[in-house]
Structure 1
Amino acid sequence: MNAMPSPLLPVPSGPPAVPVGALAPLSRPGWVEAGRHLLAGLELAVSEVNRAGGIGGRPLALVVRDTAGDPERAAKAVEELAGLGVAAVTGEYHSVVARAAAAKADELGLPFLCSSAVLDGLTEGPTDRVARLAPAQSHGWRLYADFLRDAGHTRIAVATEPGEYWASGARILRDRLAAHGGSVTTLDARALSPAAVCEALAAHGIGALLLLVGVPEPAASLVRAVRRDRRLAGLLLGAPAGQPEFAGWWDLLGDEGAGIPFLRYLPERLGPRGVRVEAALRERLGTAPSFVAFEGHDTITVLAEALRSHGTDRARLAASWARVTVDGTRGTITFTRVAGIGVRQWAWAPVQVVDRDPARPDRFRVLRSS
């Protein structure tokens, strides 16, 4: 007689899942809104992959870890995920956090497909284990500098906080503008009050102030101070890091948060796939999806294709980045070697300079595109 299975033991109901690690800033001091959009994109794509039959009949399963914007926490998460047997790690938004994750993944021989982080030096040297979807910071921020120059802004100030990402961005802007006779003045947002920043802008005849700072603070206080200072009525506020992309920016600042150009990694028009995914993301998020949500979706689309074609062996999967070609939400994705970039890079995702329309802040105006 066949014995009945014990009710205390799980009864296998199908093939084992293919586990994939996912990193995102889901608590402070990380940028939680960006993390939520990133995770929504990852999760939506996983559900689509599984509805289409998964990976050779096996479902894809996300194993999510909150980095909280902390590099050390991210590195520990990667180590934990490697021990849990994930086929690869995906995600992350913050550049310095992604760099720590990439270093640990490379050390452990674990493939890492980075969704959103842009810092050029994502790894210390060349590696085949790490690939990235987001354009490198030097690519996007040079386009932003060209936008400023063509708009007649050559005397720029940056209000900045300590950190390699902000320092790298300021350096890219300074080098690009200096090549065309422009200048960049650095204002320490930690040492100067918003009122003192306004005094410096007025005293030096600065034409544009770029916010290389975190949200909500000190970004919100700086915006309010500049908008309410009559001496600075003609000054352009900019935020190349993309702070105004999210609905939380509008909730925080209202009309004062409009008309602030930032970088956005979307095409001017989405194709049919992108339109379908946008609608599904909007339903999942309850708001318009950011470009970060699309990055998350594209990440899983790429990874699923690599897993189907090359299997779950980590070494084979890492070697597959150079051979993957996938139609994503924002264009055809392939990975190449780019000078000065140590990881396999999609060169390039579409890049726009956009702002929130002052007449309708829920709508974006495209000011320049690559």
Structure 2
Amino acid sequence: MDAIPGVITKVHPRIGALVPLTRPGWVEAGHHLLAGLELAVRDVNDAGGVGGSPLELVVRDTAADPEMAVAAVEELAGLGVAALAGEYHSVVARAAATTADALGLPFLCSSAVLDGLTEQPTEWVARLPPAQSHGWRIYADFLLDAGHRRIAVATQPSVYWASGTRILRDHLAPRGGTVIELDMTTLAPDAVCNALVDNGATALLLLVGHPDPAVLIVRSVRRDRRLTDILLGAPAGQPEFAEWAALLGDEGTAIPFLRYLPEQLTPLGTRVATTLRESLAEVPSFVAFEGYDTVTVLAELLRSHGTDRARIAESWPRVAVDGTRGPIRFSRTPGIGVWQWAWPPVQVVDRDPAAPDRFRILRAVPGGPGLS
């Protein structure tokens, strides 16, 4: 519709959202991410919107496919969104970030942790979750403190899994630890058990997709009497979601993983948790809080700078908001080419064998500047 001469029409601020909502994407994570994004948009609009206009969320499914993500970013840029939000899968987020950088479109990554989110430093991209090297070093220290020195990793071909393996090896080796790679493209789940025995591993980390082959590996290891003392671990967070407990029951407990929550949510986080639990019909994961915080940050930038993309991107280092998990600010971090919240709180948790729906905090590192 053409504008009426002499009448100023408001342009509603719009955010594009990238979310894995179909397989092979991790659909449950996508639903939690979207729930957080949508709740934050509703809260922004209930409080008057942005500059008196309602904030709009334009959602696109990435299905864990980098090519779909690139096409979605290009489409959303053409639709005139002021900024991008979302994405869970690191390889997909990297493709989205590279495209957003090329198009001059601000992108706040909600959940992907891969250190090299872009090939070159960029002003256009910022990130909420901690870099993989930060979180996985905390996890490696947890393993060392628990007495594990011979650590096997069941892994599949992926930039993300390869990066995780390298981080673990580089951190563990100077401290007397050894990382043994088990290639799941050549090993059946039951053959993993023999490899663990042969190599004398005391821990096995699941650097593989969910539900397959992660669930099959857990079942094989749990049912092998030779491996009753081995620790199963999943630093990428597979046990976080309800589907894990539904598929594995008691066998899915006592498998430590990383999540990005504080021991105590902020007052905002407590309120958000209650609403998210009602909408999801289950306990919200840390991914849902990441989604909420993403929109909270972008809404503040839109209030200050409108829909001007360049001004939004210029303001990453100046924005400061109180999120569900603490104060959020962005800075440049050595080795990270995007604006980074350094750092969110990090926990190592597992599902309690006495109550699989309950989580036990095994290690907690509070968020805040200066932590490494």
Map Cα deviations across residues 47-92 of structure 1 (whole Å, 9 max, x no partner).
0000001110010000000000000110110000000000001000
Q: Is the 8 A contact 2:13 2:56 kept in 1?
A: yes
**Secondary structure of the corresponding residue to residue 244 of structure 2:** helix
Alignment-derived partner of residue 176 in structure 2: 181
Change over 3 Å in CA distance of 1:167–1:365 after alignment to 2: same
- How far 1:17 sits from its partner (Å)? 2.2
2:157 maps to 1:162: yes
> What does 1:201-240 correspond to in 2, within 5 Å?
201-240=196-235
- How far 1:167 sits from its partner (Å)? 0.3
- What is the number of equivalent residue pairs in this alignment? 358
Alignment-derived partner of residue 323 in structure 1: 318
Query: Aligned equivalents of 2:103 and 2:266: distance in 1?
Result: 38
Alignment-derived partner of residue 4 in structure 2: none
Q: Is the 8 A contact 1:15 1:57 kept in 2?
A: no
Q: Is the 8 A contact 2:266 2:323 kept in 1?
A: no
Which of 21, 37, 42 matches 1:42?
Answer: 37
**Secondary structure of the corresponding residue to residue 345 of structure 2:** coil
- Give the TM-score, by structure 2 length: 0.95
Which of 105, 108, 120 matches 1:110?
Answer: 105
Alignment-derived partner of residue 352 in structure 1: 347
Code of the aligned partner of 2:260? Y
Q: Is the 8 A contact 1:135 1:347 kept in 2?
A: yes
Which of 119, 125, 138 matches 2:120?
Answer: 125
Code of the aligned partner of 1:193? A
Q: Is the 8 A contact 1:260 1:356 kept in 2?
A: yes
Runs in 1 of length 4+ with deviation above 2 angstroms?
14-17
Q: Is the 8 A contact 2:149 2:178 kept in 1?
A: yes
- How far 1:15 sits from its partner (Å)? 4.7
Q: Which runs of 5+ in 1 are unaligned?
A: 1-11
- How far 1:238 sits from its partner (Å)? 0.1
Alignment-derived partner of residue 369 in structure 2: none
**Secondary structure of the corresponding residue to residue 305 of structure 1:** helix
Map Cα deviations across residues 26-64 of structure 1 (whole Å, 9 max, x no partner).
000000000000000000000000000111001000000
How large is the Cα RMSD of the aligned pairs? Answer: 1.0
Alignment-derived partner of residue 4 in structure 1: none
**Secondary structure of the corresponding residue to residue 191 of structure 1:** coil
**Secondary structure of the corresponding residue to residue 36 of structure 2:** helix
> What does 1:55-134 correspond to in 2, within 5 Å?
55-134=50-129
Map Cα deviations across residues 281-335 of structure 1 (whole Å, 9 max, x no partner).
1011111000000000000000000111122100001111110000000000000
Alignment-derived partner of residue 191 in structure 1: 186
Alignment-derived partner of residue 6 in structure 1: none
Query: Aligned equivalents of 2:174 and 2:346: distance in 1?
Result: 22
Alignment-derived partner of residue 280 in structure 1: 275
Q: Which runs of 5+ in 2 are unaligned?
A: 1-6, 366-372
Which piece of structure 1 moves more, 267-276 or 229-238?
267-276
2:117 maps to 1:148: no
Code of the aligned partner of 1:262? F
